[in-house]
A and B are shown apart, each in its own frame.
Chain A
Amino acid sequence: MEYILKNGIVYDPANEVNGEKMDICFKDGKIVEDVSADAEVLDVTDKIVMPAGVDPHAHVAGPKLVVGRLYRPEDERRGVAQKTKVTRAEAGFSIPSCPTTGYRYSRMGYGTVCEAAMPPLEAKHTHEEINTIPNIDINPLPLFGNNWFVMEYARENRIDDLAAFIAAMLRVSKGYGVKIVNPCGSEAWGWGMNVHGYDDKAPYFDVTSREVVRALAKANEQLGLPHSIHIHPNDLGHPGNVPTTIATLDSIKDIAKSTKASAGVRDQTIHCTHAQFHSYTGNSWKDAASGAEEVADFINKNPYVTCDVGQVTFDETTTMTADAPMEYDLFKISGLKWANKDIECETAAGIIPCIYSPKTPVSTLQWAIGLELFLHIENPWQVCLTTDHPNAGPFIRYPKIISWLMSAEKRMSMIDNGEVHKWASKRTGLAGLEREYDFYEIATISRAAPARIHGFQDRGALTPGYNADIAVYDINPNDFDPSKDPEGVEKAFSNAYYTIKDGQIVVKDGDIVSTKQSHTIWTNVIGYEEEEKQIIDSIMPFFTQYYSVKWENYQVHDHYVPNPTRVDVEAK
């Protein structure tokens, strides 16, 4: 099938197209230069055309989502919608059901989402959930930061073995890249402890967070994986965590980016996720303040670092993370119901509801810090739009965040009218920031930059040969001032005029008109097969002794990934 999107106003940062009126053609699921006269014409005159959105960090599938849904049935009744001829019934707000997740991303014009924390032991289940999420492709990141084998290799500086282990685990779990969460901290939680600071040691392992992160970064670059290490640093959410954050990012400075072609798309060697939660100064919440300027300044000076923000959206949501000790801290503060999950020898997780209210000082401080990061980081290719869904807010609030970024007037009115707590002006510099994003920058932080950061070579741009993942929004940027009409921005980005996924129209006028099976994007390392075999043989005695499952049941077999997009990496 051939289509031509006619007369749209195109924003395609990867190809440096900034608001040009042009046609976009696609055929058989791919962007093409031209189509025949028989092509179906989709008239998008004076409407915004962008590549479909890419979410670089969210939690949409996996065991902690299931725990969240099970213990928060009250969340499921929010956002209920009846089934239609195309869609299944929808339910859930902060932790929507799997089909609902796909529909809602589609309505916003998104096409790809990174599932940011997949315990390898629970990878099978994660893939089962991915298979039930329609319309979006998903690349899951396995967790490595507290894996017992990883910590041993890091302690002994066995980078070659670690690289082989990563290659094996990506194959075994059908994962995409290296995710690190509170390195050594989640392991410490098994002993009721945490690590505080980058140079604390995991109990009984005699290895520090620094050693684990550096070892994983070296192994990642040795393999030339498409994505860099993707880190949730230590001390998340604790006042005074800026030094830990900067120490973590700075520690990678001397590690050169891989020269392999597979890593050639990205610029960074470390991606710091939900940076907002890692940008607090002070010693306690009594004197906490924004450290956004300091963190942003570091990122501005160091192009090897990228981040996503994890913007707070003032909602009642559900926090869920592999940083289990942090969730326990949150439980002690809020007293709300708390669930904990331990993944043997690999990681842990905590889940707890959280209410971000604009009337409370801490929530407002977090909100303002997130926006400060967006506005202080000069290069939009180094920052991505996320809410760390659902931790700082549900992903359906992305359009609202876009409206805040595009309108200084809106931000100021929220501060001046008392819509948010006074800490926004007293403890952050948000009130003094007049920068406003334009549509080109919005397209960068929500499409082009996340795609480049994840090393995708088939999406995030309207380049011929790329997947025909396209979003059209009903705004004419030539007679629309986003700074004066934030509600209009939010409405348009919430309901895509068209969302096209692999050349198939899945959304029209904000309604789901068709659904499509998701692809699972995973990384296949080529050239390390012998080392992988050796490393698996070497860990097998330990695995057999301590894991509660057999290796044969541990692996994600091909039928769990019925619709794969395999990214081959020539590691040697």
Chain B
Amino acid sequence: MKTITFDQKKTSSIALEFDELITDNIYSWTEEDFAAYKVPVGNSRFPITDYFDITVEGEAESPAEVKMILNGDCNRVKYIGCKMSAGEVVVNGDADLHVGAEMSGGVVTVFGNVAAHAGREMKGGKLEIMGNTKEFCGASYIGEWRGMSGGEIIIHGNAGKQCGECLVGGKIHVLGDCDILAGIHMTKGTIEIDGNVNRWPGGQMKNGNIVIHGKVGRLLEGFVEQGIVTDPELDGIVYPGRYIEYKGDIALNGKGTLIIDAEKNRDRLSTWIEEDDEYNAIREYRAQ
């Protein structure tokens, strides 16, 4: 096992680009190799040692045997873990754009907040973010219609706009709140949101699942209510509780599943179905 530790010496107002410093490329590097390496900064390159003290301990014969630790404020370091296929990356601080983008294996953990495009077009592996993310987490590149296709993203904080845009596989779990248009254009995979959702989850989704345990601000008209479901099972996972199930987005003849917590969204039921006893049934269920 090899541990490569980057201790930050100074920050840069222009972002450093770390897409070459991934486990797949640096598993055999020595401290001398790092000392000779120049990192892209804007349209120039500067020695990586200007920004980080780098310590290498142990040996590795493959990327899977590498643990890369970044200590410091990396909110101007882009592409951490981008396109990596194995190994582990730990960021003890914030991170900039494209953390774990296009990664196909390994684990990236960020103990801070990350900027947009975290886990963009991820194919495999695990990305865990202890703080918040900004827009397009697990989404596609701009213009692309195929986003994250595999692996898992766990966000302990809140997620920004268009989380899981164009999702075609894998799972995104947001433990906090989520901004507008989560799962827009998604065709497969699952997005689970423990907190509240601002507006319009699943816009133009064709398939896949969105599970929302919190309150939903506004739903698009393309989602058709299917009724109340209890302990629904989606792709082999049971979500305990009572939920309102929707299918959509019918604007695109979509067959996606959107389930939202029935208790927290009871106003939606009372508005739509005033005459039946669904609301009372939910209250009774909760009281049990």
- Taking Cβ atoms with an 8 Å cutoff, the residues of A that contact B are 71-75, 77, 336-337
Contact = CB atoms under 8 A, between A and B. Distances in A.
A74 B121 CA distance: 12
Interface stretch (B5-13, B124-132, B138-146): B138-146
B9 to A, nearest CB: 27
Given A71-B143, A337-B145, 10 more contacts: A72-B143, A73-B141, A73-B142, A73-B143, A74-B140, A74-B141, A74-B142, A74-B143, A74-B144, A77-B141
User: Which secondary structure dominates chain B's binding surface?
Assistant: loop
Nearest to A89: B43
Nearest to B252: A335
Contacts of B141: 73-74, 77
Contacts of A337: 145
- Residue among A71, A74, A75 with most chain B CB within 10 A: A74
Contacts of B145: 336-337
A373 B114 CA distance: 54
Interface of B: 140-145
The 4 closest A-B pairs by CB, nearest first: A74-B144, A73-B143, A74-B143, A73-B142
Nearest to B206: A335
14 contacts: A71-B143, A72-B143, A73-B141, A73-B142, A73-B143, A74-B140, A74-B141, A74-B142, A74-B143, A74-B144, A75-B143, A77-B141, A336-B145, A337-B145
A71 B141 CA distance: 12
Contacts of B143: 71-75
Contacts of A75: 143
Contacts of A73: 141-143
A77 B98 CA distance: 14
B42 to A, nearest CB: 13
- Residue among B141, B142, B143 with most chain A CB within 10 A: B143
Contacts of B144: 74
A77 B142 CA distance: 10
A199 B145 CA distance: 40
A337 B166 CA distance: 13
A258 B141 CA distance: 53
B156 to A, nearest CB: 30
A73 B142 CA distance: 6
Contacts of B140: 74
B195 to A, nearest CB: 31
B184 to A, nearest CB: 14
A426 B144 CA distance: 34
Contacts of A336: 145
Nearest to B146: A74
Contacts of B142: 73-74
A558 to B, nearest CB: 36
Nearest to A353: B145
B61 to A, nearest CB: 30
